[in-house]
Structure 1
Amino acid sequence: MVGKVYIVGAGPGNFELLTIKAYRLIREADVILYDRLVGEEIEDFLRSLKGKEIVYVGKERGERGEKRQQEINRLMKRYADEGKTIVRLKGGDPGVFGRLMEEMEFLHRHSIPFEVVPGVSSVNGAPACSNISLTHPEKSFGFLVVSGRDSGRIKDLWKEGTLVILMGGCTAREVALNLMRSGVGPETDVAVIERGSFEDQRITFSTVKDLAGRENDFMSPALIVVGGVVGLSKKFHDF
């Protein structure tokens, strides 16, 4: 019987910022493959667990990410083939600079069941712990997220990046029209996620053009994701 992989976000490092689900899955897992940036407090917790295989798979400075990822993939498949429950523990949130798509692609290709468990990202976690609000009614209507190595490409973000629009369900048609007016291509992939993380979560895949031409019947809360990653993610929807 094939095991299952849980790709879990560990949060920004503080043990108490682990989600309840992440904590439960770590306690229930047979194997934990953890990254370098999960934080010292969480590493200490992992070492205190009994009867589990705890494997460090973090990429060190100067190491080629592709080579390390191949080893991680090999381990996930090996343990899944043994019928084990695996927690693939990543720092922050798996979907933010965490090679999430690569690991989902690998697991999907080998028909290994998986589930992604979000974590508190340092994107919002670190500023919040520093009493810094990323948005403000008068001073900031939104924020961009880029890695340090891509900081010189901010002007290209709307062309090659991902756009997340919060609270956009009830105005989705207007949002789509505004995107096209701003230069976003009409065939750009879009996903509207209604009641994300709830049992009745619903995802609608579309294009900017199609979204602009439909009536709004989305439940709140809803957010809109725009960009190339949406098209890549469609095949995982029913997996």
Structure 2
Amino acid sequence: MRALSKSQLLKWCNPLARLASRFELPRSGRDASRSLPLGDDCRPGHVYLVGAGSGDAELLTLKAARLLQQADAVVYDRLVGDDVLALLPVGGERHYVGKAKGHHSVPQAEIGALMVRLARQGKSVVRLKGGDPAVFGRMGEELDALAIAQMPATIVPGITAASSAAACMGIPLTDRGHAQQLRFVTAQLCREDGTPDWAALARRDETLVFYMGLSKVDAICAGLREAGLPDDWPIMLVANASQPDQRSLVGSLADMPGRLAAEPLPSPCVIVVGSVVKRVEASPASVANQARYACQR
């Protein structure tokens, strides 16, 4: 067996060390024998719909991390970060069912059937989804498949891309001086009945977050401007939030299509629209967080 290189060892060991350090309370001023309370082991024949967060393994919940270590089988998506996958036990059963735009490698019905089959074999199953499984993650369809098969399921929420992107850019999603409402919107405009209700979305007292909208930036900017938002209304794009290759663009509804054409961003990308975006330039947290992720590259 070929020995692992130093870089390969670090790739595996660093996420595990960071995770292990979070399972104990700080030793100074505390009883060193105490540890964080954790739940029971995975149950056989049970499916856990687990949010993997936005990619940074340290943003996993403790429950999600525990289940990943204990599950007999993990069914995971394309948007699950490498650092999170590195936490899976070596040799554990893995099933990749990732989807990319315009190409579904595994149809949704087959994903449901796979989870049912694994659970019926008496295995504990983690269905690992990027972000939060309940936010544009097709979790409802998977719950329906499990319910029809009468398989028990547990939902474990994760940090959704909107929260992660705002935190990485050092701004809040809501702020008393900017937004009293927050709305998550899917930007998939090519569905039956066409476009969103732009007039309802063009408010100055809320923050809009568009998911899956990188190819729809022109339509989003045009629709909101036509519905009454000013040309200089702030918009921010954040790709691969919380990951080493995180990138962002900040501009206005009028100039963002041109900015994006000149400096294309990769997917996944979230789009944040609202006056709260003005806080990016003034936020010391923005500078610190962006420097942190730049140093990981």
Q: Please report the TM-score for the alignment, with normalisation by the length of structure 2.
A: 0.49
Kept after mapping to 2: 8 A contact 1:92/1:121: yes
Given the alignment, which residue of 138, 145, 149 partners 1:110? 149
> For residues 115 and 57 of structure 1, what CA distance do their matches in structure 2 show?
20
Kept after mapping to 2: 8 A contact 1:146/1:154: no
Rg larger in structure = 2
Matched letter for residue 8 of structure 1: V
Distance 1:156 1:19, change over 3 A: farther
For the pair 1:149 / 2:188, whether they are aligned, the reply is: yes
1:48-85 per-residue CA deviation (whole Å, 9 max, x = no partner) reads x13420111111331248x5212211210111110100
Matched letter for residue 51 of structure 2: G
Kept after mapping to 2: 8 A contact 1:10/1:91: yes
Given the alignment, which residue of 58, 69, 78 partners 2:98? 58
> For residues 81 and 199 of structure 2, what CA distance do their matches in structure 1 show?
32
Q: 1:33 matched to which residue of 2?
A: 75
Q: 2:119 matched to which residue of 1?
A: 80
Given the alignment, which residue of 119, 134, 159 partners 2:158? 119
Matched letter for residue 132 of structure 1: I
3-state SS of the aligned residue for 2:95?
strand
**Over aligned residues, Cα RMSD in angstroms?**
2.3
1:118-138 per-residue CA deviation (whole Å, 9 max, x = no partner) reads 000011111111102111112
> For residues 84 and 188 of structure 2, what CA distance do their matches in structure 1 show?
27
Q: Which structure has greater helix proportion?
A: 1
Where do 5+ consecutive residues of structure 2 fail to align? Answer: 1-42, 202-297
Offset of residue 93 of structure 1: 0.2
> For residues 45 and 156 of structure 1, what CA distance do their matches in structure 2 show?
45
Kept after mapping to 1: 8 A contact 2:68/2:87: no
- How many residue pairs get aligned? The number is 155
Matched letter for residue 82 of structure 1: Q
Q: 1:138 matched to which residue of 2?
A: 177
Q: Please report the TM-score for the alignment, with normalisation by the length of structure 1.
A: 0.60
- Hey, which bits of structure 1, 4+ residues long, moved more than 6 A? none
> After the TM superposition, which residues 1-239 of structure 1 pair with which residues of structure 2 at under 5 Å, given as runs?
3-46=45-88, 49-64=89-104, 68-150=107-189, 152-155=195-198
Where do 5+ consecutive residues of structure 1 fail to align? Answer: 159-239
> For residues 131 and 107 of structure 1, what CA distance do their matches in structure 2 show?
39
Offset of residue 141 of structure 1: 0.4
